[in-house]
Structure 1
Amino acid sequence: MPMTSPPRFANGSDKLGRQLRQLWQTGVLTLGLILTSGPVLDSVAHAEPTHGIAMHGTPKYPADFAHFDYVNPDAPKGGRIRYGLNGSFDSLNPFLLKGVAPRGLWDVDYGLNVYEPLLARSDDEAFSLYGLIAEWVDMPEDRSSITFKLRDEAKFSDGHQIDVEDVKFTVALLRDHGRPAYKSRITRIMAIEEPGERQIRFVFEDGSDRELPLLIGMLPVLPSHAIKTEDFSKSGMYRFVGSGPYLIDDVDPGTRLTLTRNPDYWAKDLPIKVGQNNFDTIEIEYFRDNTAMFEAFKKGAFDLLPESDPARWANQYDFNAAKDGRVEKLTLQSGLPKGMSGFVFNTRKPVFADRTVRRTLATLFDFNWVNKNLYHDLFTRTAGYFQNSSLSSLGQPMSEAEKTLLAPYLDGIDKEILEGTYEPVSAADARDMRKVMRRAIKDLAAAGYGLKGAVMTHLESGRPLAFEFLATSKEQERLALSYARILEKIGITMSVRVVDSAQYWERRKVMDFDTMKMSWSASLSPGNEQQARWHSSQRDKDGWFNQAGAADPAIDAMIDALLAARTQEDFTAAVRAFDRVLINGYYVVPMFHKSDQWLGLWKRIAMPGDDAKGRPLAGYRPTTFWYRGE
């Protein structure tokens, strides 16, 4: 896939520059042909090389830090950890949209175990990166470029030194075959230089997307000598060489994956690796449904279970291993925003094209009844996309900075959302729910609907208000049926279809659904992932991101603003404004969230405790756990 704009060529005649641009635009000149051994591009201002960079401000850890605060630097090495996950996998390539790869190869939650980036994140900062494969990084203040110096000791698991050619190879590979998120980043690279020995510089058109240089630093580095492009582009069980602390060992396709420690791992003594990757073996087993997975956990088939079911958390942790103390029930706090969980409307479908219809449907979810009868009153209603953080617009009237950003769109935003008083409708009891339903009938009338007999019907087209909910678990089905029960009372039909995991994920990827349950995680540094999730340019692209089919100029503008923010104050204002326009779109029926994290953990696995100097913002990180013994 060619880049969207030609690179800038300097140090040559105007005629040559025009010729090179023409070759680029026609596809004759490829990325590989402009990756040169010396600087050939327009000059850019450079800062001093540094060990790490931050999205806003400066990194927490100095150049001479010994280890992250949230690890146990004396954690013993050895033993194994076993993870249990719901679903299946049919590929070992986590970089393609085609196929489903297992967790744990290249994974935020379970570790960058097999493949590694130039820079790696710390988990107790909003968004700071430190050198991993890169020894140092050089990013000018205007962020129009970023330069990396590769460590001399960095090598792949087969002993080959990682070099600049591998970085260039990876960029071209992901540009042509990788997931849309990779392609989106890479197509904004205007050119690549090699300003010095084992150095590589990426030059951008401008620094308007201030997150882009950091995202380039988080790209994986893959071996040019050990990957055939035709194998990479396929979805299958091809094993590629990586540079991470673990090697792929046994694979039972769709069911189980075993990783073993690489005894020659090159980076084990780096400060960012101290106290992490402590197990000799990592086993990842997949289960077809949550019930089977919980039964396996009770028997000790795997070691930790992030619990999401309040009924199970309240009543079913009474098995023998929990009673005798071999399994702990841990309640942990997260420093991250709660994100959004809800029934997402696919606005590509005509039935959901009208915002008034979506807003009305969102009022008909009987949260209080569901929370009491299904979840032991353990959940809190979700209202926004960055709830419980300084980035949330909930309870915050619009600031002057937000007013400036939202000025062209204010007339289309509900007053209570701008004032910070918005809350999702939650009927107090059955009597109050009847009031909500009567109001919903009136609101739907404003959108052209009315009751014909007992069926809510679009009066002009004669089309009933009906749609399908796509589910893949008993829990999703149960939740959907409770919602369908209310809709049915005012003549709306929501059928519930339960499909297996493989069909569910395939239909989700190609947007073949009316509505389904979705969760959007949130961080304290939202950025380009929001473009993938919500930007209008992603509406008609297959993938796993813009499920709602959002195409709103206000959303696009707020994403641009948060990506361009230079100060924390500007960033906070942009994200709050973004939160308001997302809420205002009524793309989801907002569900609920846990105030705390629940984790079932077999005590043979240990984790850093209160004696640690810090904690990961996400609450815990399995990469910091270690084997305690039976």
Structure 2
Amino acid sequence: MIRRKSIGTLRPRKQGQIGIVSNMNANIFSKTRRWSVSIAAILVAGIANAEPQHGIAMYGEPELPPDFVSLPYANADAPFGGKIVLGEVGSFDSLNPHILKGTAPWQLRFLAYESLMGRSYDEPFTLYGLLAESIEVGPNREWAEFTIRPEARFSDGSPVTVEDVMWSYETLGTKGHGRYRGLWPQIESMEQTGERSVRFTFSEDNRELAMIVGMRPILKKAQWDGIDFANSGLDVVPISSAPYLISDYEPGRFVELSRDPNYWGKDIPFRKGTNVLDTIRMEFFADSTAHFEAFKGGLLNSIRETNVEKWRTQYDFPRVQNGEVVKSEIGHDRPTGLYGFVMNTRRQTFADWRVREAMLLAFNFEYINDVQTGGSQPRVTSYFSNSVLEKQDGPAEGRVRELLEPFADDLLPGALEGYSLPESDGTPRNRANLSKAMDLLTAAGWTVDAGTLVDGAGQPFEFEILIRQGQSDNAAIADIYVTALERLGIAATVIEVDSAQYEDRIANYDYDMTYYERGASLSPGNEQKLYWGADGVETPGSRNYMGMNSPAAEAMIDTMLNAESRDDFVAAARALDRVLASGRYVIPIMYRYDKSRIAHAKELKYSEDLPIYGDWLGFQPDVWWWDETE
């Protein structure tokens, strides 16, 4: 019975845009070469030139020279004009994406605001000047100083000042969303050093801070005079320095952004050939079915499809057949990220690793994959799958073992020995794995009483699986899982709630299990503390969804942040992967983004030179343009 309430230069691959465009991932040798070149001169990296630079890389030097024309994956000659109409499942009740309160369209963080530096997604981790014309760092990156471009302006024509920058950092660090607050305690001082210059001095040794500090959004201080920043919502339409302005919106239904014809930065190298579409419109829908039908009918002109079987079987409608719509498949060399169902270990039900392993055994991935995708999508097996950072099979060896052994007494089984996800026989009943699951549950103190699994106090094993309303694919997977759990005497209920309720419950850890997505890059760093750090166990709004508290994980992150060799960095990432996987916190499902599948109007174009990150932040709509000549 289903219970339901309501990651030197190796050029990226080239591709065209006729029919179905395929761009498969490069092989591991190619990926390793990219890493080797990108992290060259690593021993020199810690001794930065004490003079202003046009960019900064985590390791080595930026790939692009000071006189670069444009980002390599942007078309510097792209024409201005056209409109992209995108769809989102869910709703919104805020235009402020920088606070915990409310639900804002996630794209606003990237389209409606700018930062001192901007990231190139054709390099593992490199920033180039955006609002800032230069960055200067200390010999060991113990401080970073930025000089604001004299031409930088907000949309009302006023200059971007040091005062705006300092106010933004303090406000976001003390009143902003949890994603911003982690940096503020790591800033020992912030001071104006010139008419257009500001210096941040850091309170700890952390090479990445000089880069992270350049990536915070800059807001106009005067706009917020007399306004409660932390409790704002639809009442304040941002005055922005970005290429786009919010020109129209209707709460819960749509947001439209228009290109600012007076945008100050359209000719700087970082922006050349980007943000040329006149209009970006985001329509919101109650569920994925309505979203897809809106695209089929022409209301939307671009859509990402994450279901491979649906891409194969349902994208043959008339607008595809007559050429109005093009199907593009866009590969990448980044980690695939993690997708699945996360267990909240703050709940006593999931505090025991044996119970979590039993939950993994009960999840019949092979059968579910066959039902959902025809068995066409591989399973995520690592927090850094598809990259050089993912854990290796078998026992930990060499530097990886050396990093983990000090924590041997606290590591869970599999961290040192090697851990692999359970595999079923692919049949619906999954008998062997369910038997193993019951053995583990029994060892953890659970017994079956009249068909119901109970603990020592006679309390039944029951929990909720929280799903955001409109995520029908995830709900369908959860439904199959619920049926399997019933055979163990476990009563699980699928709960679907609207976006506002979902965000509130996630922020306050009010869930037993929920669908979980965590993107990953080729340069994991400080954000890993937000994902897995102990500070997030109780602090509301963190990204530590599972509530894990692991000194081993935090030590591996610290090693990554302070690595002075490529080998050390990779070893620390692989060791972290082992800690996470053996924690058994997430029930992974199939790859969602082995490559991106985007169906779009034939007039919407993008460059043949793809970034190594593929379809990632800064790709659509940033480097797309409109062309009606064909």
Establish whether TM, by shorter chain, passes 0.5: yes
Deviates more, 1:337-346 or 1:397-406: 397-406
TM-score by length of structure 1 reads 0.88
Out of 272, 275, 284, the residue aligned to residue 274 of structure 1 is 272
Compared CA separation, residues 50 and 427, structure 1 to 2 (3 A): same
Deviation at 1:410, TM superposition (A): 2.4
Q: Counterpart in 1 of 2:210?
A: 213
User: 2:112, 2:246 within 8 Å by CA — same for their partners in 1?
Assistant: yes
Q: What amino acid maps onto 1:68 in structure 2? A: L
Deviation at 1:224, TM superposition (A): 2.1
Q: Say if 2:92 is the partner of 1:89.
A: yes
Q: Counterpart in 2 of 1:435?
A: 432
Compared CA separation, residues 537 and 597, structure 1 to 2 (3 A): same
User: 1:335, 1:618 within 8 Å by CA — same for their partners in 2?
Assistant: yes
Out of 276, 296, 299, the residue aligned to residue 298 of structure 1 is 296
Deviation at 1:452, TM superposition (A): 1.8
Q: Counterpart in 1 of 2:613?
A: 617
CA shift digits 1:497-525 (9 cap, x unpaired): 22223222221121111101101111011
RMSD of aligned C-alpha atoms?
A: 1.9
Q: Counterpart in 2 of 1:455?
A: 452
Q: Secondary structure at the match of 1:138?
A: strand
TM-score by length of structure 2 reads 0.88
Compared CA separation, residues 45 and 417, structure 1 to 2 (3 A): closer
CA shift digits 1:312-365 (9 cap, x unpaired): 212211211011111122222121101111111011111011111111211111
Identity of aligned residues (%): 39
Q: Counterpart in 1 of 2:369?
A: 371
Q: Secondary structure at the match of 2:223?
A: coil
Compared CA separation, residues 514 and 415, structure 1 to 2 (3 A): closer
Q: Counterpart in 2 of 1:13?
A: none
Q: Distance in 2 between matches of 1:381 and 1:605?
A: 32
Q: Counterpart in 1 of 2:596?
A: 597
User: 2:54, 2:133 within 8 Å by CA — same for their partners in 1?
Assistant: yes
Q: Counterpart in 2 of 1:627?
A: 626
Out of 458, 461, 478, the residue aligned to residue 465 of structure 1 is 461
Q: What amino acid maps onto 2:440 in structure 1? A: D
Q: Counterpart in 2 of 1:254?
A: 252
Deviation at 1:412, TM superposition (A): 4.3
Deviation at 1:396, TM superposition (A): 6.8
Q: Distance in 2 between matches of 1:431 and 1:257?
A: 44
Q: Counterpart in 1 of 2:20?
A: none
Q: Say if 2:442 is the partner of 1:445.
A: yes
Q: Counterpart in 2 of 1:12?
A: none
Compared CA separation, residues 325 and 45, structure 1 to 2 (3 A): closer
Q: Say if 2:557 is the partner of 1:559.
A: yes
Q: Counterpart in 2 of 1:187?
A: 185
Map residues 453-532 of structure 1 onto 2, 5 A cutoff.
453-458=450-455, 460-471=456-467, 472=469, 473-532=471-530
Compared CA separation, residues 336 and 46, structure 1 to 2 (3 A): closer
User: 1:90, 1:99 within 8 Å by CA — same for their partners in 2?
Assistant: yes
Out of 49, 60, 75, the residue aligned to residue 63 of structure 2 is 60
Q: Distance in 1 between matches of 2:535 and 2:570?
A: 24
CA shift digits 1:575-625 (9 cap, x unpaired): 11111101111111111114322111111211112xx3x434133611110
User: 1:450, 1:457 within 8 Å by CA — same for their partners in 2?
Assistant: yes
Q: Counterpart in 2 of 1:587?
A: 585
Q: Which has the higher contact order (CA 8 A, sep 6+)?
A: 2
User: 2:48, 2:137 within 8 Å by CA — same for their partners in 1?
Assistant: no
Q: Secondary structure at the match of 2:109?
A: coil
User: 1:365, 1:426 within 8 Å by CA — same for their partners in 2?
Assistant: no
Give the aligned length.
576
Compared CA separation, residues 399 and 275, structure 1 to 2 (3 A): farther
CA shift digits 1:103-151 (9 cap, x unpaired): 33222xxxxx321100000011111000111111011241211001111
Q: Counterpart in 1 of 2:18?
A: none
Q: Distance in 2 between matches of 1:468 and 1:576?
A: 32
Q: What amino acid maps onto 1:468 in structure 2? A: E
Q: Distance in 1 between matches of 2:212 and 2:48?
A: 20
User: 1:562, 1:575 within 8 Å by CA — same for their partners in 2?
Assistant: yes
User: 1:170, 1:220 within 8 Å by CA — same for their partners in 2?
Assistant: yes
User: 1:56, 1:567 within 8 Å by CA — same for their partners in 2?
Assistant: no
Q: Distance in 1 between matches of 2:159 and 2:503?
A: 38
Q: What amino acid maps onto 1:129 in structure 2? A: L
Q: What amino acid maps onto 1:433 in structure 2? A: N
User: 1:469, 1:495 within 8 Å by CA — same for their partners in 2?
Assistant: yes
Compared CA separation, residues 250 and 429, structure 1 to 2 (3 A): closer
Q: What amino acid maps onto 1:130 in structure 2? A: Y
Map residues 122-161 of structure 1 onto 2, 5 A cutoff.
122-161=120-159
Q: Counterpart in 1 of 2:103?
A: 100
Considering only CA atoms, is the larger Rg found in Structure 1 or Structure 2?
A: 1
Deviation at 1:53, TM superposition (A): 0.5
Q: Secondary structure at the match of 1:624?
A: coil
CA shift digits 1:200-234 (9 cap, x unpaired): 11011232x22122111001111223322524232
Compared CA separation, residues 272 and 401, structure 1 to 2 (3 A): same
Q: Secondary structure at the match of 2:224?
A: coil
Q: Distance in 1 between matches of 2:94 and 2:328?
A: 33
Q: Counterpart in 2 of 1:40?
A: none
Structure 1, unaligned runs of 5 or more: 1-43, 108-112
User: 2:414, 2:582 within 8 Å by CA — same for their partners in 1?
Assistant: no
User: 1:97, 1:178 within 8 Å by CA — same for their partners in 2?
Assistant: yes
Compared CA separation, residues 396 and 168, structure 1 to 2 (3 A): farther
Q: Secondary structure at the match of 2:194?
A: coil
Q: Counterpart in 1 of 2:37?
A: none
Q: Distance in 2 between matches of 1:94 and 1:192?
A: 24
Q: Say if 2:398 is the partner of 1:395.
A: no
Q: Distance in 1 between matches of 2:244 and 2:228?
A: 21
Deviates more, 1:545-554 or 1:171-180: 171-180
Q: What amino acid maps onto 1:70 in structure 2? A: Y
Q: Secondary structure at the match of 2:127?
A: strand
Q: What amino acid maps onto 2:81 in structure 1? A: G
Q: Secondary structure at the match of 2:113?
A: coil
Q: Distance in 2 between matches of 1:76 and 1:386?
A: 37
Q: Distance in 2 between matches of 1:114 and 1:477?
A: 32
Q: Distance in 2 between matches of 1:229 and 1:426?
A: 58
User: 1:469, 1:514 within 8 Å by CA — same for their partners in 2?
Assistant: yes
Q: Counterpart in 2 of 1:35?
A: none
Q: Distance in 2 between matches of 1:99 and 1:394?
A: 41
